[in-house]
Chains A and B, each alone.
Chain A
Amino acid sequence: MSSRGEGLVRLRHLQFVVLFIFGAILLRLAWIQLFDSKYKDMARNNVLRHVTLYPARGEIYDRNGEFLAQSRECYDLMVVYRELPKTGFDTVRLCQMLNIPRTKLERELSSARYAPRAARRIVSYVPKETKLLLDEYKIPGFYTVYRTVRQYPRKVGGNLLGYVGEVSEQMLRRYDNYEVGDYIGLTGVEAAYEEVLKGKKGLRVEEIDAYGAVKGSYMDGAFDTIPEHGKSIVCTIDAKLQLFAEELMEGKVGAAVAIEPSTGEILMMVSSPTYDPDKLVGRERGNNYMDMLRNKRRPLYNRAVKAKYPPGSTFKLVQGLIGMQEGVLRPSQTYPCHLGYRAGRVSMKCHEHRSPADLSYAVATSCNAYFCYVFRNILENPKYGGVKNGYDVWKEYVESFGFGRDLATDFMGEGSGYVPDKEFYNKRYRGSWNALTVLSLSIGQGELGCTPLQMANLAAIIANRGYYYLPHIVRSVEGQDSLDRRFYERHYTKVDSKHFEPIVQGMWRSVHVDGTSTWARLEGLDVCGKTGTAQNPHGKDHSTFLSFAPKDNPRIAISVYVENAGFGASMALPIASLLEELYLTGEVKRQNVVDYVKSHKVYYPRYDK
Chain B
Amino acid sequence: MINNGRTNRINIFDGVDFKTVFLYIALTIVGVLCITSASFNAGEEEFFSFAHNHTKQLMWLGVAWVVAFVVMMLDSRYFHMLSYPAYLGGILLLVAVLLFGREVNGAKAWFQFGSIRVQPVEFAKIAIALAVARMMSGYSFAINRPSNLFRLGAMLLLPLSIIVLQNDTGSGIVLGSFLFVFYREGLNKWLCIPILLVALLFIVSFLVTPTAMLISLIVIFTLSEIMMNRLWRSRVVALAAVFLGSMVLHWLLRLCGVGWEYYVSLMISSFVGVAVAAVYAFRANLRNIFVLLALYLASMIFLPTTEHIFNNILKPHQQNRILVFLGAIEDLRGQGYNVHQSKIAIGSGGLFGKGFMQGTQIKYNFVPEKHTDFIFCTVGEEWGFLGALVVLGLMCALILRLMKMGERSGEPFTRVYCYCVASILLFHTLVNVGMTIGLMPVMGIPLPFISYGGSSLIAFTIMLFIAINLDASTRTEIGHRI
Contact = CB atoms under 8 A, between A and B. Distances in A.
A11 B351 contact: no
Contact of A47 (B185, B360, B403): B360
Nearest to A114: B333
A4 B338 CA distance: 47
Contacts of B400: 15, 18
A46 B434 CA distance: 23
Contacts of A17: 180
Contacts of B183: 10, 13-14
Contacts of B351: 33-34
Given A1-B412, A17-B180, A25-B430, 14 more contacts: A10-B183, A10-B184, A21-B429, A21-B430, A30-B385, A32-B343, A32-B437, A33-B350, A33-B384, A36-B347, A39-B347, A43-B344, A44-B348, A215-B364
B350 A40 contact: yes
A22 interface: yes
Interface residues of A, number: 39
A196 to B, nearest CB: 40
A513 interface: no
Nearest to A19: B396
A181 B256 CA distance: 71
Contacts of B438: 28
Nearest to B412: A1
Q: Lowest 8 CB-CB distances: which A-B pairs, in order?
A: A39-B347, A43-B348, A209-B364, A2-B186, A210-B365, A32-B347, A47-B360, A33-B385
A608 to B, nearest CB: 57
B389 A25 contact: no
A211 B365 CA distance: 8
Contacts of B344: 39, 42-43, 46
A22 B360 contact: no
Contacts of A586: none
B388 interface: yes
The size class of the interface chain B forms with chain A is 35 or more
Interface in A199-255: 207-211, 215
A574 B344 CA distance: 76
A21 B426 contact: yes
B360 A43 contact: yes
B446 interface: no
A210 B344 CA distance: 13
Interface string B231-251: 000000000000000000000
Interface of A: 1-2, 6-7, 10-11, 13-15, 17-19, 21-22, 24-26, 28-30, 32-34, 36, 38-40, 42-44, 46-47, 116, 207-211, 215
B336 to A, nearest CB: 13
Residue among A14, A34, A208, A209 with the highest chain B CB neighbour number at 10 A: A14
B433 interface: yes
Nearest to A82: B333
Contacts of A33: 346-347, 349-351, 380, 384-385, 388
Contacts of A46: 341, 344, 360-361, 364, 366
B458 interface: no
B186 A6 contact: yes
Contacts of A18: 396, 399-400, 403, 422, 426
20 contacts: A1-B185, A2-B185, A7-B184, A15-B403, A18-B399, A21-B426, A26-B392, A29-B385, A29-B388, A32-B346, A32-B437, A33-B385, A34-B385, A39-B346, A43-B344, A46-B341, A207-B360, A207-B364, A209-B365, A210-B365
Interface string B348-366: 1111000000001101111
Secondary structure class of chain A's binding surface, majority of residues = helix
B252 interface: no
A28 B434 CA distance: 9
Given A24-B439, A29-B346, A40-B350, A210 B433 contact: no
Contacts of B439: 24-25, 28
A268 B392 CA distance: 80
Contacts of A38: 347
Contacts of B434: 25
A1 B185 CA distance: 7
A43 B347 contact: yes
Interface string B412-440: 10000000001000100110011001110
B345 interface: yes
A43 B361 contact: yes
Contacts of B437: 25, 28-29, 32
B477 interface: no
A373 to B, nearest CB: 85
B350 A210 contact: no
Nearest to B439: A28
B122 interface: no
Contacts of B392: 22, 25-26, 29
